[in-house]
Amino acid sequence: LAPTAEEEIVDANIKVTFNGHNIEGETTFNMPLGTNKVVVTKKDYDGFTGTFNIDKTQQDATKKLTIVPHKGTLELNIVDKSDTKITNGFITLTHQATKEETTTDTNTDLKVGTYDIVIEDESNIYITQEDTLEISKDGTVQKKYTLELKPSKLITNIVFDHNDENVPVGRILVDDEEFSFVDGEYVIPEIPSGTHTIKVTGKMFKETSETVKLTPGDTTQHTFQVKSKVGNIAIHVTNK
């Protein structure tokens, strides 16, 4: 019982047995009149076993067989460092074998197999993570991903308040870190986003501090105006 000339190979992984004959991957073939038994199998799928009754009126009939993939469940939770759910967080899963992509932000059923995963957020303020995940038949995988905010970039300008000229030298204190600046400017390429109290101090000017809010992933430029340290001169004028 060979397949007809119109045979079509749709998936080399599909195994078809027709009346006991193996016809791998072939989807169009001759069936004799009467009852015919068809078995369809594929790795990681629930196969099909059934019979077709063919009579003279069923020339070139089409039979649609559905095989269902084995699945497992992913229980997903994406949070920030305070363990608060990131409402716009999501993951993209790529099945290593089939290259099929799935995007989800909640619990979902997935075909069995190994997935490459990218975890990110729609607002693009968190650092993207990558992972690998294995889904097994009827299994449940619980995954919790903790995303960190992207750092910010801070550009500081330190000038004298009376003439806006750059302060030659000094120090910048951010949290527990200290940076020395020259010619009134310093760039901190990576600083945690959020609100910081930043101090500027030096021998030539009075210490000043300001609160600066930094947005994740953005560059913030901030100018500090400082007062010069000047001595007091007493002038006495007398008449002779």
Q: What is the dihedral of CA 202, 205, 211, 215, to 10 degrees?
A: -60
* Helices (H), ranges, 11-65: none
Output the pLDDT for position 67. Answer: 83
Q: Rounded to an integer, what distance in angstroms lies between the CA atom of residue 29 and that of residue 40? A: 14
27-31, 37-41, 69-73, 200-204, range with the lowest pLDDT = 27-31
- CA dist 103 and 122 (Å) reads 12
Closest of 90, 91, 220, 81 to residue 149, by C-alpha: 81
How many residues are given for the chain? 240
Least confident of 54-58, 64-68, 184-188: 54-58
Can you tell me the mean pLDDT for 19-38? Answer: 73
Instruction: Evaluate if residue 149 carries a pLDDT over 60.
Output: yes
Confidence of residue 91 (pLDDT cuts 50, 70, 90): very high
Query: What's the one-letter identity of residue 211?
Result: T
DSSP assignment string, 189-239: EEE-SEEEEEEEEETTEEEEEEEEEE-TT-EEEEEEEE-B-----------
Look at the pTM and tell me if it is higher than 0.75.
Answer: no
Unique residue bearing structure tokens 């004298």: 160
Whole-number pLDDT of residue 66 = 78
Residue 174 has pLDDT above 80, yes or no: yes
Distance CA 221, CA 37 (A): 75
How many whole angstroms separate alpha carbon 211 and alpha carbon 195? Answer: 7
The CA distance from 112 to 97, in Å, is 10
CA distance 78 to 91: 9
- Computed over every residue of the chain, the mean pLDDT equals 86
First to last CA, the chain: 136
232: pLDDT strictly greater than 90:
no
Interatomic CA distance for residues 33 and 137, integer angstroms = 38
